């Protein structure tokens, strides 16, 4: 019976480990680490469709009426809409599913992050696939029965749990596989989450066209097909995960000295249970909250802001927004849709570019750039709008959205630098409560300020000016928090005995315990296998980029 030594020195037998167990996925010598990013992308590209669920709102709001919504009686409130079968759901009611996605993502990642570290990415990925795809199937049944509570339970709650587990499942694994390129590695995976809607939204639109009939809007069938397709990809990703042996490092790479320069890279490891009491955790929490709050606020208002600020000039008509007729409003809405597509490309690209750049700059300096450059760009927007400069206006938003995405993808590496790699996935899960907070804070600030400015009688093209200055203030708070971050005190790190016990509980295995760090060469894994894995995720991603570029063309035309 073959066995290897666990971190605590106890033998672990392969035959005793279950198929989904972490012990079964410790990579053998010669495994190519470049097989792990496509596995992570396969999961993130699927769960990233959470961003694109709004493509279903309009058809679902006419699920019964087909051409026009069957309106509910005036006395039917939100809770009645959960169970009503004789009238259509309002778009505002359907939007609660979107809210639940990100609340459940943050809370489930925080609750089960510690379990994930010990269970391993394969088990977490399988659970994520079952929750995300099973939730879509429950939602499909809810559409068939016209029961919105089933959709909230299915995609909102169960799917939201799948989102959280799927989102953080590769973080710790990628950071351990790429200690020399932490930012780039997490940037690749989290880029996939941003790109999920870029693939899923046009796919859903095409499927709904295929399944639509004079008596059915085709959403239920679309949910079923997408759930089955996503399940195949997510299971492929989950089963493709491998974890490195404890102590592994890339050939030819020497770990940097502890706590040098802006990177502040520690050699210790903090237990997830202790992070609530460490000031650096809350400073990073505020950094992410402020960066994401500002970005989410911009995403939500970018399209209407472009239309209201520039009005008819978007289509060569010298009229303000309020002076346009219905046909002209439709035309500028098409231009704004192209603008939104352009922003999505910068959001996705920024996740990879900025996170990779942080490997050179250091995480702290990268966030300084986000806050200083971002603040200057927000401050410039009212001026470029007043001057009628669409080029400066659009360029500012594109860079802002790239840094919004970059903030998500850089923060896991920031956490690994500060708190070590042993439990970085669980710590990242706790930090995602900042995302849930920002998901409420950003849109509330932007939307209420807009309504307040309109209530004061300001012209539509000026109602966003004060909001931009408020977002600048939020970024300055984030800047101060980032500048206050210092290396974590030694007292917070696990002792050698505590670390050994945690590695035992996490089923970490060392192939060689006496010969020092384990190294693996990259020439033994067949090249065609690596190429096939990247092609499998690259083709859908390329198709999504192509469809998005078609929309972007409408903006430039």
Say what percent of the chain tops pLDDT 70.
Answer: 92
> Which pTM was predicted?
0.87
User: 515 or 53: which carries more pLDDT confidence?
Assistant: 53
The answer to whether residue 255 scores a pLDDT higher than 50 is yes
Mean pLDDT, to the nearest integer, of 187-205? 90
Confidence of residue 257 (pLDDT cuts 50, 70, 90): low
Q: How far apart are CA 191 and CA 350, in angstroms?
A: 8
- 3-class DSSP state for residue 460? helix
**pLDDT of res. 464:** 78
User: 510 or 374: which carries more pLDDT confidence?
Assistant: 374
Domain boundaries, the chain: 34-244+528-556, 289-491
**pLDDT of res. 189:** 86
The answer to whether residue 59 scores a pLDDT higher than 80 is yes
Give, for 452, the enclosing helix (H) or strand (E). Answer: helix 433-455
Q: Which of 109, 126, 114, 108 is nearest to 25 (CA)?
A: 126
- 3-class DSSP state for residue 495? coil
Mean pLDDT, to the nearest integer, of 449-474? 81
Confidence of residue 300 (pLDDT cuts 50, 70, 90): low
Residue-averaged pLDDT of the chain: 87
**pLDDT of res. 520:** 44
The helix/strand count (H/E) of the chain reads as 19, 5
**pLDDT of res. 510:** 62
Confidence of residue 7 (pLDDT cuts 50, 70, 90): very low
Q: State pLDDT tens for residues 126-176.
A: 999 999 999 999 999 999 999 999 999 999 999 999 999 999 999 989 999
**pLDDT of res. 177:** 94
**pLDDT of res. 45:** 96
The answer to whether residue 269 scores a pLDDT higher than 80 is yes
User: Is residue 438 a contact partner of residue 293, using CB atoms and an 8 Å limit?
Assistant: yes
User: Is residue 302 a contact partner of residue 446, using CB atoms and an 8 Å limit?
Assistant: no
Say what percent of the chain tops pLDDT 90.
Answer: 54
**pLDDT of res. 2:** 40
The answer to whether residue 515 scores a pLDDT higher than 60 is no
Confidence of residue 522 (pLDDT cuts 50, 70, 90): very low
The answer to whether residue 64 scores a pLDDT higher than 50 is yes
Task: Write the DSSP string, 18-69.
Answer: -TTSGGGGBPPTT--GGGHHHHHHHHHHHHGGGGGGGGGHHHHTTTTTTTS-
Q: How far apart are CA 87 and CA 428, in angstroms?
A: 42
Mean pLDDT, to the nearest integer, of 2-24? 57
Tokens standing for residue 223: 């949910």
Confidence of residue 437 (pLDDT cuts 50, 70, 90): confident
For residue 26, what are the β-bridge partners?
243
Task: Write the DSSP string, 333-380.
Answer: HHHHHHHHHHHHHHHHHHHHHHHHHHHHH-HHHHHHHHHHHHHHHHHH
Mean pLDDT, to the nearest integer, of 89-110? 86
**pLDDT of res. 480:** 98
Count Cβ atoms below 10 Å from residue 154 Cβ, excluding itself: 24
Mean pLDDT, to the nearest integer, of 445-458? 78
Mean pLDDT, to the nearest integer, of 221-233? 98
Identify the weakest region by mean pLDDT among 64-68, 373-377, 404-408, 509-513.
509-513
Identify the weakest region by mean pLDDT among 220-229, 257-266, 448-457, 466-475.
257-266
The answer to whether residue 316 scores a pLDDT higher than 50 is yes
**pLDDT of res. 514:** 35
Mean pLDDT, to the nearest integer, of 177-196? 91
Q: Which CATH architecture has domain 289-491?
A: Up-down Bundle (1.20)
Beta strand 519-520 pairing with 249-250 = parallel
**pLDDT of res. 242:** 94
The answer to whether residue 509 scores a pLDDT higher than 90 is no
For residue 216, what are the β-bridge partners?
213
> Same CATH topology for 34-244+528-556 and 289-491?
yes
Q: How far apart are CA 244 and CA 306, in angstroms?
A: 48
CATH 3.30.1360.100 correct for 34-244+528-556: no
**pLDDT of res. 54:** 83
Q: Which residue is it, tokens 């279950």? A: 18
What angle, rounded to 10 degrees, do the helices at 433-455 and 279-310 form? 40
Tokens standing for residue 263: 């990177």
């Amino acid at each position: 019976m073959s066995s290897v030594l666990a971190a605590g020195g106890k033998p672990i037998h392969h035959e005793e480990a279950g198929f989904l167990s972490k012990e079964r996925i410790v990579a053998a010598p010669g495994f190519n680490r470049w097989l792990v990013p496509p596995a992570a992308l396969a999961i993130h590209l699927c769960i990233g469709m959470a961003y694109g669920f709004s493509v279903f709102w309009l058809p679902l709001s006419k699920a019964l009426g087909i051409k026009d919504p069957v309106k509910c009686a005036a006395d039917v409130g939100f809770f009645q809409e959960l169970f009503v079968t004789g009238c259509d759901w309002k778009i505002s009611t359907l939007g609660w599913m979107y809210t639940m996605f990100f609340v459940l993502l943050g809370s489930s990642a925080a609750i089960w992050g510690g379990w994930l570290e010990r269970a391993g990415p394969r088990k977490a990925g399988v659970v994520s696939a079952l929750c995300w795809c099973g939730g879509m199937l429950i939602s499909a049944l809810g559409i068939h029965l016209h029961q919105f509570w089933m959709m909230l339970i299915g995609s909102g709650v169960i799917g939201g749990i799948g989102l959280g587990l799927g989102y953080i499942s590769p973080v710790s694994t990628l950071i351990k596989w790429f200690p020399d390129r932490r930012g780039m590695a997490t940037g690749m995976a989290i880029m996939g989450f941003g790109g999920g809607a870029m693939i899923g939204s046009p796919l859903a639109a095409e499927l709904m066209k295929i399944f639509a009939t004079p008596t059915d809007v085709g959403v239920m069938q679309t949910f079923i097909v997408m759930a089955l397709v996503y399940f195949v990809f997510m299971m492929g990703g989950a089963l493709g995960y491998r974890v490195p042996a404890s102590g592994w490092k890339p050939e030819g790479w020497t770990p940097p000295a502890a706590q040098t320069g802006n990177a502040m890279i520690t050699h210790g490891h903090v237990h997830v249970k202790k992070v609530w009491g460490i000031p650096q955790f809350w400073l990073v929490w505020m950094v992410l909250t402020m960066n994401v709050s500002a970005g989410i606020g911009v995403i939500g208002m970018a399209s209407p802001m472009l239309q209201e600020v520039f009005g008819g000039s978007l289509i060569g008509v010298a009229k303000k927004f309020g002076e346009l007729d219905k046909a002209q409003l439709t035309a500028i809405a098409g231009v704004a849709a192209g603008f939104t597509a352009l922003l999505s490309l910068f959001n996705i690209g920024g996740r990879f570019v900025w996170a990779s750049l942080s490997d050179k700059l250091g995480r702290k300096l990268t966030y300084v750039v986000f806050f200083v450059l971002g603040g200057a760009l927000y401050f410039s927007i009212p001026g470029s709008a007043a001057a009628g400069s669409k080029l400066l206006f659009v360029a500012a938003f594109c860079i802002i959205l790239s840094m919004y995405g970059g903030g998500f993808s850089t923060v896991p590496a920031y956490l690994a630098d500060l708190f070590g790699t042993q439990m970085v996935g669980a710590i990242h899960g706790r930090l995602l409560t900042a995302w849930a907070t920002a998901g409420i804070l950003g849109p509330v600030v932007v939307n209420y300020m807009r309504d307040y400015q309109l209530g004061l009688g300001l012209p539509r093209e000026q109602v966003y000016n004060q909001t931009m200055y408020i977002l600048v203030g939020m970024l300055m708070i984030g800047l101060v928090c980032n500048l206050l971050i210092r290396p974590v005190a030694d007292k917070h790190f696990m002792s050698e005995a505590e670390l050994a016990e945690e590695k035992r509980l996490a089923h970490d295995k060392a192939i060689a315990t006496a010969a020092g760090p384990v190294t693996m060469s990259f020439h033994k894994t067949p090249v065609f296998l690596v190429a096939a894995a990247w092609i499998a995720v690259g083709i859908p991603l390329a198709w999504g980029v192509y469809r998005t570029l078609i929309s972007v063309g409408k903006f430039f035309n």
